[in-house]
C-alpha cells in the first residue's frame, strides 16, 4: 500500500500530531521513493533541526532544496528544504509584483517581514506557495510535505481557501479602497468597522496595516490564481495524504479528528502509519518457562502492550484508512542509514505489518 | 494485568501545594498550573493526573483545554470541570466583553483580525491566558490546570505577554496583558509543570523550556518524567542468566537495557537542569489509557483520596 503511493503519487502530505515521528517518516518516505529511482524533494514546514542532521546536511536545512548524499546503489535523488516564511514571502512578492518598484516597496514595509513569521496563517500560506513552486519544478517528480502538528496542518490545507475568502471579503476591499489615494485613506479611517479595530490596537498600528495591504495592490489576482491551483492539487488523484500516529487511543482519537476535518474539506487520506509499535517477541511456552523471572516478566509486559496496541488499532474509527505498523526503533534516527532502515521497513512486503 | 508502582516517597508532595505548602482556596484566587512539554510526551495525561490528584485532595478543580482536546473529558475524574478554549473564540469573547458587540463576530470572521493580530503578535495567546485568568478569578475553583500547547508554542505563549507590553502603549489590550503578567509572575498563585519523556529529544527540549520559563519569571511547580518503562527489571540479570537467553530474546533484551541506560542518563540531565527532584510516572502496559488507570497513577503519585 505504502509502496504504491511512493512509486506513483506526485505529492505526499504527511500529517500527524506533534511527537509521533512525522518528520522522520516524511524523510523515510522520500528516501524510499529515491531508492525506487524517483527524484524527490522533502519540504518540512515545521522547524526541524534534527532532520537536517539526520540527512547529513552540515549547514542544516535551508530555504532552497539541498541534495542529500545517498549510498551509490540508490538510483534516485533526495533533496530537502525547510520552509522559511520570510524568504518565501520575498520570493512570492518578487515574482508577483505587477509594476516596477512594487516588490521593493512591499518588502520595505516594516510589516512585511514580521508578518511572514507572526501573522497567523501566513506561514501556512507560504507553505502552499512553496509546494506549488516545487511541484511546478521539473527537477522533481515527487514532493513530500512534512506538515506542522495536526492543528496547524489543517491551516496549511485550508490556506488557499482562507486567502481566497480574505481577498473576496468586503473588509479587504474596504481596506484596499476604491478611489484615489487620499480618498481611500479617508474612507478607511472613517469606516466604523476599522475604527473599532483601531480602538483595540491603536490607530497608528491600523494605518500601518492599511499601508501594508495597499503595497500589494494588483498582486491579488495571481495570489488568487495560485491559491485555486493548490486547492485543486490537494484534492487531485496524484496527491496522497498519509496520516502518522502512535498506536494509542489518544493519538488515534486525535488523528481521527484531523481526518474528519480532511473529509469535510473534501480530502480523503490514503494510509495511516502506526509509528513506534511495540515489537512482540514470539517464544514458545517451553522457552518462556526457562527464562529468568525478571526477563519473563519484562517480556510479558511487552506482549501485553503489543496486544493492547493491536486492539486499539483494530477499534479505530471506521473513517480512518488502512494501517501500516512501523516498529519502534531502538534509538532516535540520526543518520541516513537509520532513515534507510526505516524506509526498508516501510516498503518491504512482510513489514510494515498489516494489521491482522 | 496492569500494575502500578508506588513512586518515590520524596515525590509525594503534590505540586499544587507548592510553594508554601498550603492548600489553595477559591477565595484567595485559584492556583493556576500550566502543564508544558513537547508534543507526544503525555501533557494531556499529566493534566488529567494532576486533576485526579487535586480532586482526590478535596479541591475544586477546573481543567482548561486549548482547541478542544476532548480526551480530557475522558481522562479526568467525573467531579472535575473541563472547559475548552479556542484562540478564535477567546478573542471574540474578549471583544464582546470590551463592548464591541456585533463587530466582534464580523471582525473575527473576516480574517482582518488576523492581519491586525500580526501588528500585535501574541494577541491570541494573550486572550487565551486572559480567559484562564478570568476562570481563576471567578472564585468557583481552587485549582485551574491548563493543558498548554506544545513546547515551541508554549514558550512563545509565555513571552507573548511581555512582547505585547513592549508594543501596545495603552488601551484594553495593555491592561489585559498587565493583569495576565501579574498572575503569571505571582509564584503563590501560578506555576509551570514541565512534562517530558526520558528520551533524548524531549529532554533536550524540556531543558530549553525550563530556561524559557525562568526567563519570564514563572515559578516551576513541578517536573514529571512520563511513561518510564519497566526496563529496570532487566538490569539485574546476571551474566550467567544472560548467556542462557535464546538469541531472539537476548537481542530485544539488550536493546531494552541500552534504552534503559539512555533513559537514566536523560533523566539525570533533566534533574540537573531543574535543580530539584522529579516525579517519575510509570508507563503502563496498555495503549488504551482511561480514567480509572489515570486515577490509579494519581494514587500512586499523590496518595489515597481524602475521605
Fold (topology level) of A2-154+239-354: Rossmann fold (3.40.50)
Chain A interface includes B112 (CB < 8 A): yes
Given a cut of 70, whether residue A355 has pLDDT beyond it is no
- Whether the CB-CB separation of B266 and A332 falls below 8 Å is answered with no
Distances from the Cα of A184 to the Cα of A174, A181, A209, B95, angstroms? 8, 5, 13, 26
Mean pLDDT score across all residues of chain A:
83
Comparing CA positions, the residue from A311, A313, A312, A328 lying closest to residue A276 is: A328
Given a cut of 50, whether residue A178 has pLDDT beyond it is no
> Where residue A180 falls among pLDDT bands split at 50, 70, 90?
very low
Given a cut of 70, whether residue B249 has pLDDT beyond it is yes
Distances from the Cα of A234 to the Cα of A6, A81, A154, A320, angstroms? 17, 20, 12, 18
In angstroms, the CA A21 to CA A337 distance is 17
What confidence score (pLDDT) does residue B127 get?
83
A304 contacts on B by Cβ (under 8 Å): 1-2, 285-286
Per domain, the residue ranges of chain A are: 2-154+239-354
Question: Which ipTM score applies to this complex?
Answer: 0.86
- At the second CATH level, the architecture of B9-229+275-302 is 3-Layer(aba) Sandwich (3.40)
Given a cut of 60, whether residue A204 has pLDDT beyond it is yes
Comparing CA positions, the residue from A98, A93, A150 lying closest to residue A124 is: A150
Which residue in B has a C-alpha nearest to residue A49's C-alpha?
Answer: B201
In angstroms, the CA B71 to CA B147 distance is 11
Greater confidence (A331 vs A109) lies with A109
Comparing CA positions, the residue from A82, A86, A161 lying closest to residue A123 is: A86
Given a cut of 50, whether residue B234 has pLDDT beyond it is yes
Mutate to test the interface with B, among A200, A206, A209, A330 (most CBs of B within 10 A): A200
User: A296-314 burial, b for 16+ CB within 10 Å, e for fewer?
Assistant: bebbebbbbbbebbbebbe
What confidence score (pLDDT) does residue B3 get?
40
Alpha-carbon gap: A75 to the closest alpha carbon of chain B (Å):
32
In angstroms, the CA A177 to CA A217 distance is 10
Given a cut of 80, whether residue B271 has pLDDT beyond it is yes
B244 contacts on A by Cβ (under 8 Å): 290
B231 contacts on A by Cβ (under 8 Å): 298
| pLDDT tens-digit readout, B281-302 | 999 999 999 999 999 999 998 8
Q: Would you give the end-to-end CA distance of chain B in angstroms?
A: 28
DSSP letter assigned to residue A60: -
Asked if A20's CB is within 8 angstroms of B171's CB, the reply is no
H-assigned helices in chain A: 2-8, 22-35, 49-54, 85-96, 102-108, 110-118, 122-135, 150-168, 170-176, 181-190, 192-201, 203-214, 220-234, 249-264, 285-289, 293-314, 336-347
In angstroms, the CA B140 to CA B136 distance is 8
| Share above pLDDT 70 across residues of chain A, in percent, rounded to a whole number | 79
Pairing between strand B81-85 and A323-327?
Answer: unpaired
Q: Would you give the end-to-end CA distance of chain A in angstroms?
A: 15
Q: Which of A118, A149, A304 is facing B285, going by the closest CB pair?
A: A304
Amino acid at each position: 500500500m505504502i509502496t504504491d503511493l511512493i512509486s506513483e503519487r506526485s505529492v505526499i502530505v504527511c500529517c500527524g500530531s506533534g511527537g509521533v515521528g512525522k518528520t522522520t517518516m516524511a524523510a523515510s518516505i522520500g528516501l524510499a521513493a529515491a531508492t525506487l529511482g524517483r527524484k524527490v524533494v522533502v519540504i518540512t514546514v515545521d522547524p526541524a533541526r534534527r532532520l537536517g542532521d539526520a540527512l547529513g546536511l552540515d549547514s542544516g536545512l535551508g530555504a532552497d532544496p539541498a541534495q542529500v548524499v545517498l549510498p551509490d546503489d540508490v538510483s534516485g535523488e533526495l533533496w530537502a528544504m525547510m520552509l522559511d516564511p520570510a524568504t518565501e514571502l520575498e520570493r512570492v512578492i518578487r515574482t508577483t509584483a505587477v509594476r516596477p518598484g512594487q516588490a521593493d516597496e512591499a518588502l520595505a514595509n516594516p510589516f512585511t517581514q514580521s508578518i511572514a513569521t507572526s501573522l497567523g496563517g501566513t506561514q501556512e500560506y507560504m507553505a502552499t506557495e512553496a509546494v506549488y513552486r516545487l511541484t511546478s519544478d521539473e527537477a522533481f517528480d515527487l514532493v513530500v510535505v512534512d506538515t506542522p502538528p495536526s492543528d496547524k496542518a489543517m491551516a496549511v490545507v485550508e490556506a488557499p481557501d482562507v486567502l481566497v475568502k480574505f481577498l473576496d471579503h468586503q473588509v479587504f476591499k474596504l481596506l484596499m479602497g476604491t478611489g484615489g489615494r487620499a480618498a481611500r485613506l479617508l474612507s478607511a479611517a472613517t469606516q466604523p468597522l476599522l475604527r473599532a479595530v483601531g480602538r483595540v490596537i491603536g490607530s497608528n498600528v491600523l494605518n500601518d496595516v492599511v499601508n501594508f495591504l495597499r503595497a500589494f495592490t494588483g498582486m491579488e489576482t495571481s495570489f488568487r490564481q495560485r491559491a485555486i491551483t493548490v486547492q485543486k492539487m490537494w484534492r487531485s488523484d496524484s496527491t496522497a495524504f498519509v496520516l502518522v500516529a502512535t498506536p494509542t487511543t489518544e493519538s488515534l482519537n486525535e488523528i481521527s479528528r484531523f481526518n474528519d476535518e480532511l473529509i469535510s474539506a473534501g480530502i480523503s487520506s490514503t494510509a495511516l502509519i502506526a509509528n513506534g509499535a511495540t515489537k512482540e517477541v514470539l517464544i514458545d511456552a517451553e522457552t518462556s518457562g526457562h527464562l529468568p523471572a525478571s526477563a519473563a516478566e519484562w517480556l510479558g509486559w511487552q506482549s501485553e502492550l503489543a496486544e493492547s496496541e493491536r486492539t486499539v488499532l483494530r477499534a479505530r474509527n471506521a473513517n480512518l484508512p488502512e494501517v501500516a505498523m512501523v516498529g519502534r526503533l531502538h534509538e532516535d534516527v540520526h543518520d541516513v542509514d537509520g532513515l534507510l532502515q526505516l524506509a526498508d521497513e516501510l516498503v518491504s512486503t512482510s513489514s510494515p505489518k498489516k494489521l491482522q | 494485568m496492569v500494575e502500578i508502582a508506588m513512586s518515590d516517597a520524596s515525590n509525594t508532595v503534590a505540586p499544587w501545594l507548592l510553594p508554601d505548602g498550603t492548600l489553595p482556596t477559591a477565595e484567595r484566587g485559584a492556583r493556576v498550573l500550566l502543564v508544558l512539554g513537547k508534543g507526544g510526551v503525555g501533557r494531556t495525561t499529566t493534566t488529567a493526573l494532576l486533576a485526579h490528584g487535586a480532586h482526590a485532595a478535596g479541591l475544586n478543580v477546573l481543567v482548561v483545554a486549548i482547541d478542544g482536546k476532548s480526551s480530557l473529558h475522558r481522562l479526568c475524574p467525573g467531579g472535575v470541570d473541563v472547559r475548552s478554549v479556542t484562540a478564535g473564540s477567546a478573542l471574540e469573547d474578549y471583544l464582546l466583553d470590551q463592548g464591541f458587540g456585533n463587530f466582534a463576530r464580523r471582525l473575527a470572521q473576516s480574517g482582518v483580525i488576523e492581519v491586525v493580530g500580526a501588528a500585535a503578535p501574541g494577541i491570541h495567546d494573550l486572550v487565551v491566558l486572559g480567559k484562564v485568568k478570568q476562570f481563576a478569578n471567578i472564585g468557583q475553583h481552587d485549582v485551574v490546570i491548563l493543558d498548554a500547547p506544545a513546547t515551541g508554542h508554549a514558550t512563545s505563549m509565555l513571552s507573548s505577554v511581555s512582547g505585547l507590553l513592549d508594543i501596545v502603549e495603552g488601551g484594553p489590550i495593555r491592561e489585559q496583558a498587565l493583569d495576565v503578567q501579574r498572575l503569571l509572575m505571582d509564584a503563590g498563585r501560578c506555576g509551570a509543570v514541565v512534562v517530558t519523556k526520558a528520551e533524548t529529544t524531549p529532554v533536550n527540549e524540556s531543558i530549553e523550556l525550563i530556561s524559557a520559563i525562568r526567563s519570564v519569571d514563572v515559578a516551576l511547580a513541578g517536573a514529571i518524567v512520563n511513561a518510564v518503562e519497566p526496563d529496570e527489571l532487566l538490569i539485574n540479570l546476571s551474566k550467567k542468566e544472560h548467556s542462557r537467553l535464546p538469541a531472539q530474546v537476548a537481542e530485544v533484551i539488550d536493546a531494552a537495557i541500552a534504552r534503559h541506560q539512555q533513559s537514566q542518563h536523560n533523566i539525570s540531565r533533566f534533574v540537573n537542569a531543574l535543580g530539584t527532584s522529579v516525579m517519575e510516572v510509570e508507563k503502563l502496559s496498555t495503549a488504551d489509557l482511561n480514567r480509572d488507570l489515570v486515577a490509579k497513577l494519581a494514587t500512586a503519585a499523590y496518595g489515597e483520596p481524602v475521605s
